[in-house]
Structure 1
């Protein structure tokens, strides 16, 4: 089996569903600015708006939260990570990057090992109806706005 990743974040004690786990911090850059950063900094960024990415000033534990297609954590707002369910000591804390990524800057072959693994993580995954239902309330606000627009019937004023 291929190695999932070199690093991860693990619970030291029991964590209750809904509990705040971590928060991202850093500097905001647009996509062009992100592409000029070193690859490691790019990989530790978090998309927070259509063309804005939060990039770390220095390495923090939150930078090592891995993706999973069966996550135990989700976003609350733009930068907070909360427990989706109770998390046991020693369990890796993971979230589905579909909750935050809406551009193709960070697509990869997924090796999370979850029974429901998508096999590939893309900037289009937020469009999948099953993910929209499963992660309702845990998408980054800019993605939730996109989802809402997908499901709304345009009015004449929306088309102007």
Structure 2
């Protein structure tokens, strides 16, 4: 817990988090593999990582010893009614969203950093505020009212996700894998998706360049597009399954 030692004005810069500069950047698969090999690291890796993409996380360089490296930013607790957020000009700086009194705890909403593929998805919130959401599923960034109130205080990654929603909407049951030298950015199932579920939606022309959905190659497409430009699962898809389309036979 961190509390205000003196009055803090709205907009005042409070903290600079060096995590992104000092940490390792690992993919979701790499972290899960690390946890599989060293289960005792699970809590540390889940709690002290933060997202930079749907499948990319920053973890402390000290993860092997489970030390925080004296970075007090990890002491900021979550609140569904936060008084702090991230500076939109420089995402590693924590700023006051309103005036804060002496002795008041400094908090931010973890939804400013995380989306559905968060390693702490399902965390039960205990902030006890009137607007407490109960369980953190990290999908609040999809809510237009939440966007209006907090967009300027979200991390650069969250702001990018909000902008993407306007043209590349996909289900909370999906996540993207970052592009590699061999493959473009792609869409995958985060959890089981049942046949007939809507997994994504096109807002413009149904074209491979207008979404993260790959063209089916040798394997059969896992989805189809209906007359409303909604991408529908053709089969029950297990986690990690790639969302693919036959763009020539899409309707």
TM-score, normalised by the number of residues in structure 1: 0.83
Find the partner of 1:31 among 19, 28, 32: 28
Find the partner of 2:3 among 4, 10, 13: 10
Cα RMSD, aligned residues only: 2.1
- Alpha carbons 2:51, 2:118 under 8 Å: kept: no
Does 2:100 correspond to 1:87? yes
Does 2:143 correspond to 1:143? no
Does 2:138 correspond to 1:123? yes
- Alpha carbons 2:82, 2:109 under 8 Å: kept: yes
Using the TM superposition, give the Cα deviation of residue 65 of structure 1 relative to its aligned residue in structure 2, in angstroms.
0.4
Find the partner of 1:104 among 115, 118, 137: 118
Query: 2:141 & 2:149 partners in 1: Cα distance?
Result: 11
Instruction: Count matched residues.
Output: 153
Using the TM superposition, give the Cα deviation of residue 142 of structure 1 relative to its aligned residue in structure 2, in angstroms.
1.8
Unaligned 5+ runs, structure 2: 36-40, 63-68, 168-201, 212-251
Moved over 4 A (4+): 152-158
Does 2:57 correspond to 1:42? no
TM-score, normalised by the number of residues in structure 2: 0.55
- Alpha carbons 2:51, 2:114 under 8 Å: kept: yes
Query: 1:80 & 1:53 partners in 2: Cα distance?
Result: 18
